[in-house]
Amino acid sequence: MDDSWVLLIVLLVLAALAVPVLLVAALVSVSSLKRRVAVLEARLDAGDTEPVPRQPRNEAAQPYAWQQPEANPDDSPAVPETAVPVAAPAPVVSSEPAPVTATPLPPPLPPRPDPLDPLASAPRRPLPARQPAPEQTWTPAAPAPPAEPNIIERALAYAKQWLTSGNVPVKVGMLVLLAGVAALLKYASDQGWFVVPPSLRLAGISAAALAGLVFAWRKRESHRSFALAMQGGMIGILLLVVFSACKNHGMIGVVPAFALSVVLIAGLSVMAVLQESRTLAILGVLAGFMAPIWLSDGSGNHVALFSYYALLNLGIFAIAWVRPWRILNLLGFVFTWGIGTVWGVLDYEPAKFNSVEPFLVLFFAFYLLLPLLYARKASTAGSARIDGCLLFGTPLIAFSLQAALLQGDRMPLAFCALGVAALYAVLARALINNERMNVLARGYAILAVGFATLAVPLALSAKATASVFALEGAGLVWLGLTQDRRLVRWTGIGLQLAAAAALAIGVSGSHSSATTAIANAAFMGALLIAVAGFASAWWYRAAGNAQLATVAYLWALAWWLGNVVMEIGDFVEVGSRLHAVLLLLGVTAWVAAEVQRRAPALALSLTTLGGFVMAFPVAFLQLSEYGQPFAGHGAWAWPVFAALGVRSLMCLRAGSGAVAGLAQLAWWLLWPTVLSLLAWHIGARFALAEGWVGMLLALPWLLLAVLSMYRWAWLSQPLGAAFERYRAALQLAVFAVLGLWWLTSLASAGSAAPLPWIVVFNPLELAEIAVLALLALRLRQNGSAAVLPMQLVGTALAALVLVTVMTLRAVHHWGDVSWNDSLLGSKLAQTSLTVVWSLLGVIGWISGSRRGQWGLWLAGAILMSVVLAKLLLIDRSNLGDLLGIGAFIAYGLLCTLVGWLAPAPPRRANAATDNEEVSA
């Protein structure tokens, strides 16, 4: 058998033996614990009590901070503290042991020996009584405010209140009785169960209902709830009798049935008013509006229907005169406009306009006067409740129905809107000074403004609408800021956005149809939008709202620039459009700077800076389109722009900060750019040689560099000393441009035609040398001592590159070698470079040795080493002809000359010091 199996069997046997042993030990421990509990109970019964100490808990077992610790029933000050002998707990390992000072207590009773209890054999000691835990307090969070109930919740709450308050049994009974009577009448009519003629049956039911009504009327004082519910039920039974007699049995005609229904409903309304019962009034209104529906004969007599509804609304108005029951007004509002709208959708024809329009006006008048009636009856301004549904819903629904009646005829609708606006304006003006009706007057004012606004797009074109909306929006922004009314302000902003949308729709695809510049609807509409935006920005800034002022300003600026650019594209000839755009930038920058001078703002100074910066691409576009910036009208456009720019910079001198400096920096960089573009055109126009063109391109920048180094006072105006900190930035930009020009000019052959080409004394190389000379002077003036050596090394390398290019140009012009890639492969070019580089190396070697300049000597030595490497790697292939031999001979002679004149390098300062120390 495998050893692993033997080991497994042994382990199983040991486990089987250990289980009963562990069970016995557990039972013994449990029995011991039971005995100890019995001893403690006996002690407690004898009055010898001592709180049993608990083992300390770790943090995980502690109660939560907000929980109140449970009271210990054993902690009682009236009972003397005595130690109860308990078994010592198992030792607890603690990371921070602390000495425990035990309070002397009476000696404990000797424990009962138990050899089988391992805990009983341990020594026992009393523990101090547990101190009461500190009192914990918890402050609950403030409950969230309850949410307002919605309409459905309010309806359910009202129904619940009606069913659970007052005389509930009679209310429920009347409802059930109505349903039962209706079902009985219908079923009896269908089955023919009764031998009694229908007329007698209905008469009996009517008599019973009238008797019940009289009984309920007499009990109205003693049993109010019962009487009101019974009155409503009896009137309902009578209405059902009338309905059954008319529709089910044909005993009476529709007109008499309708008249009886009106009488019953009117009586119910009178009883409701006399008894101040809103419930009866609601039943009456509901029955009144439903009567034409259940008694309809399908004839479609809308005049009779609307006449009846007019009488019904008159009754509601009469009830409202004496009882402020808002629910009646809402029911009348919903049923009148709802049923009228349904009829209009289903049955209206243009031929019925004359018979329908008076009823529309009448219903509008009813629900226009109802809010006014309630406001007039209010005792104080605070008690005046304005029904927003009637106040705002009535004109909106009525005007919508009016639009349907007119079937989209714009001008009559516009006059209707204007008339409604005038009506509300008169009401607002008449009520604005009345304290009780001030809120209502404000609502009328809003409606007046709204309908006047609505009349504009109905009567005018989209472009004219944009103009009116823009001005109206600006006016509302001013009014809202003046009166601190947010709704009015945002309404003004919304109108300006609507103006922009209207104009965009109006000019879509038809902007170019205008025949007169500036004096056309599209331009003037956009101009008014921009003016409204600028005005809003000014008012917002005066109110201290800088963010919205900036947004409004940018909105207006975009409309101003876009509008003028579109006008330029439509009415300015192609050859002058960019010049007009340049003038637009100049005028915009100047106006912004003038406003900035009187009311400093960052957006204004940035506008001036933006005008200068945008002139750069305009200049390049002029070069591309017209050949040069000063072509055509550019000859006077750029001088005008310059005059406007100078004035703009003068305006920015105060209160513009860093933006003014950036604007003047852009200004000085603009003019050499424009002059360089002009130089390019001159070179192309007169077919100048590339050397002359290159010099003309660099000349404006060289002039600006000289002025920035030696005539800074000229460039610092008009900002003066404030522009001093931008001197380094200007020079950096100028030398960056010159550096790019210098690098690109190295690829040019530098022809000086019609003059003969002479090394150094040709226009291109003179300009290149001037760039390096100015750069070296600039480094000497402003370079720091730490980086100056590195800058001088860079300049020396640039000079070496220039000498090399000059040598190659000499080979091209004097040796008649083509200026292309084959130039470097020619033997003449290689020999010339060897000789020139050797001369430069020898000059540096000897000058450094004679002057004691170890760096210069080292540079010459390195250059001579490079020439030697060139001889060995390149020129040795040319030893078969005179040019290659001449290169080697020239190098050898020059090295010999160096050995004669400067055989040893100059001593460095630290080396000389070391030698002196050694000799000492």
Instruction: Identify the helix (H) or strand (E) that includes residue 27.
Output: helix 3-46
Tell me how far apart the alpha carbons of residues 263 and 258 are, in angstroms, rounded to a whole number. 9
Q: Using the 3D structure, point to which of 402, 425, 459 is the last residue of a domain.
A: 459
Q: Please indicate whether residue 71 or residue 819 has the higher confidence score (pLDDT).
A: 819
Q: What pLDDT score does 433 carry?
A: 82
Tell me how far apart the alpha carbons of residues 230 and 10 are, in angstroms, rounded to a whole number. 97
Q: Comparing C-alpha atoms, which of 468, 371, 483 is closest to residue 424?
A: 371
pTM of the model: 0.59
The mean pLDDT value for 862-876 works out to: 69
Q: What pLDDT score does 167 carry?
A: 58
Tell me how far apart the alpha carbons of residues 792 and 802 are, in angstroms, rounded to a whole number. 15
The mean pLDDT value for 602-606 works out to: 93
CB atoms within 10 A of CB 162: 12
Structure tokens at 913: 């010091």
Give 541's pLDDT tier (boundaries 50, 70, 90).
very high
> 195-204, 470-479, 657-666 — which is least confidently predicted?
195-204
Q: What pLDDT score does 510 carry?
A: 55
The mean pLDDT value for 641-660 works out to: 89
**Could you tell me if 453 and 530 lie in one domain?**
no
pLDDT in tens, 671-723: 999 999 999 999 988 989 999 999 999 999 999 999 999 999 999 988 888 89
Question: 799 burial class (0-12, 13-18, 19+ CB within 10 angstroms)?
Answer: middle
**Could you tell me if 220 and 292 lie in one domain?**
yes
Question: 425 burial class (0-12, 13-18, 19+ CB within 10 angstroms)?
Answer: middle
Residue listed under structure tokens 């050859």:
575
The mean pLDDT value for 45-49 works out to: 61
Whether the pLDDT of residue 62 is over 70: the answer is no
Q: Comparing C-alpha atoms, which of 691, 696, 700 is closest to residue 762?
A: 691
Structure tokens at 473: 């929006």
Domain membership of residue 96 (yes or no) is no
Residue 347, SS3? helix
Q: What pLDDT score does 517 carry?
A: 84
**Could you tell me if 480 and 384 lie in one domain?**
no
CB 412 within 8 A of CB 399: no
CB environment 109-129: b (16+ within 10 A), e (fewer)? eebeeeeebebbeeebebbeb
Distances (CA, A) of 328 to 243, 281, 282, 313, 919: 24, 7, 6, 10, 125
Domain membership of residue 139 (yes or no) is no
Give 610's pLDDT tier (boundaries 50, 70, 90).
very high
Q: What pLDDT score does 913 carry?
A: 42
Question: 451 burial class (0-12, 13-18, 19+ CB within 10 angstroms)?
Answer: buried
Tell me how far apart the alpha carbons of residues 89 and 122 are, in angstroms, rounded to a whole number. 9
Q: What's the structural domain count of the chain?
A: 7
Between CA 464 and CA 472, with CA 468 as vertex, the angle to 5 degrees is 170
> 47-56, 83-92, 425-434, 493-502 — which is least confidently predicted?
83-92
DSSP per-residue codes, 475-533: HHHHHHHHHT-HHHHHHHHHHHHHHHHHHHHHHTTTGGG--SSSSSHHHHHHHHHHHHH
**Could you tell me if 754 and 808 lie in one domain?**
yes
Tell me how far apart the alpha carbons of residues 430 and 372 are, in angstroms, rounded to a whole number. 12
CB environment 324-344: b (16+ within 10 A), e (fewer)? ebeebbebbbebbbebbeeeb
Rounded to whole angstroms, the maximal C-alpha distance in the chain is: 159
Tell me how far apart the alpha carbons of residues 672 and 670 are, in angstroms, rounded to a whole number. 6
Share of residues in the chain with pLDDT > 70 (%): 65
Domain membership of residue 614 (yes or no) is yes
Q: What pLDDT score does 54 carry?
A: 47
**Could you tell me if 312 and 398 lie in one domain?**
yes
Tell me how far apart the alpha carbons of residues 383 and 865 are, in angstroms, rounded to a whole number. 106
The mean pLDDT value for 538-552 works out to: 92
Question: Which domain covers residue 671, as residue numbers?
Answer: 580-686
Q: Please indicate whether residue 381 or residue 533 has the higher confidence score (pLDDT).
A: 533
Tell me how far apart the alpha carbons of residues 675 and 883 are, in angstroms, rounded to a whole number. 46
Domain membership of residue 588 (yes or no) is yes
Domain membership of residue 126 (yes or no) is no
**Could you tell me if 278 and 312 lie in one domain?**
no
Distances (CA, A) of 841 to 120, 805, 846, 884, 892: 107, 17, 9, 19, 13
Residue 283: CA atoms inside 13 Å, Cβ hemisphere, count?
Answer: 27
Tell me how far apart the alpha carbons of residues 578 and 626 are, in angstroms, rounded to a whole number. 9
Tell me how far apart the alpha carbons of residues 371 and 382 are, in angstroms, rounded to a whole number. 15
Q: What pLDDT score does 185 carry?
A: 63
**Could you tell me if 810 and 874 lie in one domain?**
no
From the CA atom positions of the chain, what is the Rg in Å?
A: 54
**Is the Cα torsion angle 668, 671, 672, 677 positive or negative in sign?**
positive
Q: Comparing C-alpha atoms, which of 680, 695, 682 is closest to residue 768?
A: 695
CB 474 within 8 A of CB 492: yes
Whether the pLDDT of residue 508 is over 90: the answer is no
What is the rounded average pLDDT for all residues in the chain?
A: 75
Q: Please indicate whether residue 366 or residue 186 has the higher confidence score (pLDDT).
A: 366
Whether the pLDDT of residue 393 is over 80: the answer is yes
Q: Using the 3D structure, point to which of 272, 299, 326 is the last residue of a domain.
A: 299
**Could you tell me if 259 and 201 lie in one domain?**
yes
The mean pLDDT value for 64-91 works out to: 40
Tell me how far apart the alpha carbons of residues 392 and 374 are, in angstroms, rounded to a whole number. 15
Tell me how far apart the alpha carbons of residues 709 and 316 are, in angstroms, rounded to a whole number. 93
pLDDT in tens, 330-364: 888 888 888 888 888 888 888 888 888 998 999 89
Q: Please indicate whether residue 845 or residue 591 has the higher confidence score (pLDDT).
A: 591
Helices 388-406 and 410-431 pack at an angle, to 10 degrees, of: 160
Top-ranked range on mean pLDDT: pick from 1-5, 16-20, 121-125, 310-314: 310-314
**Is the Cα torsion angle 368, 370, 371, 376 positive or negative in sign?**
positive
pLDDT in tens, 752-805: 988 998 989 999 999 999 999 999 888 887 766 666 677 778 888 898 899 989
Tell me how far apart the alpha carbons of residues 899 and 688 are, in angstroms, rounded to a whole number. 49
Q: What pLDDT score does 540 carry?
A: 93
Whether the pLDDT of residue 663 is over 60: the answer is yes
Q: Comparing C-alpha atoms, which of 177, 254, 187 is closest to residue 208?
A: 177
Residue listed under structure tokens 């019974």:
230
Between CA 334 and CA 341, with CA 338 as vertex, the angle to 5 degrees is 150
Whether the pLDDT of residue 44 is over 60: the answer is yes
> 67-76, 690-699, 815-824 — which is least confidently predicted?
67-76
> 116-120, 433-437, 558-562 — which is least confidently predicted?
116-120
Q: What pLDDT score does 159 carry?
A: 67
Q: Using the 3D structure, point to which of 823, 839, 871 is the last residue of a domain.
A: 823
Helices 577-598 and 634-651 pack at an angle, to 10 degrees, of: 10
The mean pLDDT value for 610-632 works out to: 94
**Could you tell me if 751 and 793 lie in one domain?**
yes
The mean pLDDT value for 389-412 works out to: 83
Domain membership of residue 62 (yes or no) is no
Top-ranked range on mean pLDDT: pick from 261-270, 289-298, 379-388, 706-715: 706-715
Share of residues in the chain with pLDDT > 90 (%): 24
**Could you tell me if 692 and 682 lie in one domain?**
no
CB 245 within 8 A of CB 251: yes
Give a three-class secondary structure readout of 172-233. Answer: HHHHHHHHHHHHHHHHHHHHCCCCCCHHHHHHHHHHHHHHHHHHHHHCCCCCHHHHHHHHHH
**Could you tell me if 848 and 809 lie in one domain?**
no
Q: What pLDDT score does 406 carry?
A: 84
Collect all residues with Cβ–Cβ distance below 8 Å to 192 and sequence separation of at least 6. none
Give 67's pLDDT tier (boundaries 50, 70, 90).
very low
> 57-71, 154-168, 595-609 — which is least confidently predicted?
57-71
Q: Please indicate whether residue 509 or residue 55 has the higher confidence score (pLDDT).
A: 509
Whether the pLDDT of residue 122 is over 70: the answer is no
Tell me how far apart the alpha carbons of residues 880 and 556 are, in angstroms, rounded to a whole number. 80
**Could you tell me if 502 and 598 lie in one domain?**
no
Question: 262 burial class (0-12, 13-18, 19+ CB within 10 angstroms)?
Answer: middle
Q: What pLDDT score does 664 carry?
A: 95
Domain membership of residue 697 (yes or no) is yes
